[in-house]
């Protein structure tokens, strides 16, 4: 797992801001697998 994680296993992406959300959505445009992505302001990292 250190060097490879199967992308198709990612089910969800949570982000804290609209700007990061937009970056994720733009990056996912080039992929066939598009996990559900949401802004989760209440999450603490």
33 belongs to a structural domain: yes
Whether 40 shows a pLDDT value over 90: the answer reads yes
Number of domains in the chain: 1
Tell whether 1 is covered by a domain: no
pLDDT in tens, 2-39: 788 899 999 999 999 999 999 999 999 999 999 999 99
In which domain, by residue range, is 11 found? 7-39
Which residues, including other chains, have CB under 8 Å from residue 40's CB and lie 6 or more apart?
14, 15, 16
In a domain, 45, yes or no: no
What is residue 12's predicted lDDT score, i.e. its pLDDT? Answer: 97
**pLDDT attached to residue 4:** 87
Note whether residue 11 is domain-resident: yes
- SS3 of 43, please? coil
pTM: predicted TM-score of the whole model, two decimal places = 0.80
**Residues with Cβ within 8 Å of residue 37, at least 6 apart in sequence:** 12, 13, 14, 15, 21, 24, 25, 28
| 12 phi, psi to nearest 5 deg | -150, 140
Is-contact 44 21, C-beta < 8 A? no
């Amino acid at each position: 797992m250190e060097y490879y994680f199967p992308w198709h296993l990612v089910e969800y992406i949570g982000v804290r801001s609209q700007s990061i959300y937009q970056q994720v959505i733009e990056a996912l445009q080039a992929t066939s697998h598009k996990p559900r992505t949401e802004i989760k302001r209440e999450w603490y990292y």
